[in-house]
Amino acid sequence: MSYLDLSNNQIDGVIPSWIWVNWKDSISVLYLSHNMFTSLENSPSVVHMNNLKFLDFSSNKLHGSVPIPLTTGSQLFLDYSNNSFSSIIPDFGRYLPSGTNYLDLSRNNLSGHIPRSLCTQQYLEILDLSYKNFSGVVPSCLMQGSMIWLTTLKLRENHFHGMLPENIGEGCALQTIDLNNNRIEGKIPRSLSNCQQLELLDVGNNQIVGSFPSWLGVLPQLRVLVLRSNQLNGTIRDIKGDHTVRNYTVRNYFGSLQILDLASNNFYGNLPKGWFNELKAMMENVSDEGQVLGHETNSREGFYRDTVTITFKGFGLSFTKILSTFKVIDFSNNSFGGHVPESIGRLVSLRGLNMSYNNFTGQIPFQYRNLSQLESMDLSWNQITGGIPHELTSLTSLEWLNLSYNNLYGRIPQGNQFSTFSDSSFEGNAGLCGVPLSKHCDNQSSISPTGVALPESEGLWQDKLGVILLFAFVGLGFGVGFALSFLLRLYCRMEGWICKQA
The partner residues of 243 in beta bridges, in order of sequence, read 250
Say how far apart CA 502 and CA 500 lie, in whole Å. 5
Rounded distance, CA 259 to CA 349, Å?
12
What is the Cβ-side half-sphere exposure of residue 480, based on CA atoms within 13 angstroms? 6
Q: Is the pLDDT of residue 185 over 80?
A: yes
Q: Coil, helix or strand for 346?
A: helix
pLDDT of 384 over the 60 cut: yes
- Residue type at 309? T
Secondary structure E strands in 297-454: 303-305, 308-312, 315-319, 328-330, 335-339, 352-354, 359-361, 376-378, 385-386, 400-402, 407-411, 431-433
Q: State the average pLDDT for the chain.
A: 87
**Strand 243-245, strand 248-250: pairing:** antiparallel
So what's the pLDDT on residue 146? 72
Strand duo 294-296 + 303-305: pairing: antiparallel
The model's pLDDT over 199-209, given as tens digits with 9 standing for 90+, comes to 999 999 999 99
Is 437 a residue whose pLDDT tops 90?
A: yes
Asked whether 27 and 49 are in contact (CB, 8 A), the reply is yes
Task: Determine the Cα–Cα distance for residues 64 and 46; give it in Å rounded to an integer.
Answer: 12
Band (pLDDT 50/70/90 cuts) for residue 469 is very low
Res. 339: pLDDT tops 80: yes
pLDDT at 455: 41
pLDDT at 246: 54
Q: Are 54 and 77 in contact (CB under 8 A)?
A: yes
Q: 65 near 39, Cβ under 8 Å?
A: no
The pLDDT of residue 495 is above 90: no
> Residue 444's pLDDT band (boundaries 50, 70, 90)?
low
Instruction: Please check the confidence at residue 58 and state whether its pLDDT lies above 60.
Output: yes
Q: What is the pTM of this model?
A: 0.86
pLDDT of residue 388: 97
Give how far Cα 408 sits from Cα of 164, 213, 384, Å: 45, 34, 6
> Does residue 490 surpass a pLDDT of 50?
no
Q: What is the mean pLDDT of residues 168-188?
A: 94
